[in-house]
Amino acid sequence: MNLYEQLLVARERLEGIGAHDDSMDLVEKLLRKAEPARNDKTNIVQVQVVRHMLRMPEVIDNYNIYNDLQELLSEKEEFEISAREDAAPAAYVDTERHPRPKSFYKAKKAQEKKKGQG
């Protein structure tokens, strides 16, 4: 997603967490600035956009905006952590490799012998 689309997503997420009006005003201002890049093909990550916003002078001077953006970052991190946990195998699943028993190889050899003769 390009910058404009990422800002739209950020605005929706800020609305979802009940962000302060100052935060919403900042995002609207950035959306107006990013309007010319609406159809840009450059991909930008959401975390990159939020981190860039955190370094803006308007954000540094306003605790409400800063806290809202930090909330967005922590929300994103929680989502990534839960996704990683979901992707990991359960603790009770045996993921170790074990050698096959001798009987497996005997049966395989007998089966191959049968195919060779039949």
Alpha helices in 17-101 (DSSP H): 21-34, 46-54, 57-60, 63-87
Domain that holds residue 11: 3-87
The pTM (predicted TM-score) of the whole model is 0.62
Q: CA 75, CA 57: separation in Å to the nearest integer?
A: 23
The pLDDT value given to residue 32 = 93
Per-residue model confidence as pLDDT tens digits over 45-95: 888 888 899 999 989 999 999 999 999 888 777 777 777 777 776 677 677
- Hey, what amino acid is at 89? P
Quick check: is 64 in a domain?
A: yes
CA distance 24 to 29: 9
Which are the contacts of 59, defined by CB distance < 8 A and separation ≥ 6? Answer: 26, 53, 65, 66, 69
Q: Is residue 97 part of a domain?
A: no
Domain count, the chain: 1
**pLDDT tens figures, 23-45:** 999 999 999 999 988 888 888 88
Residue 118 lies in a domain: no
72, part of any domain: yes
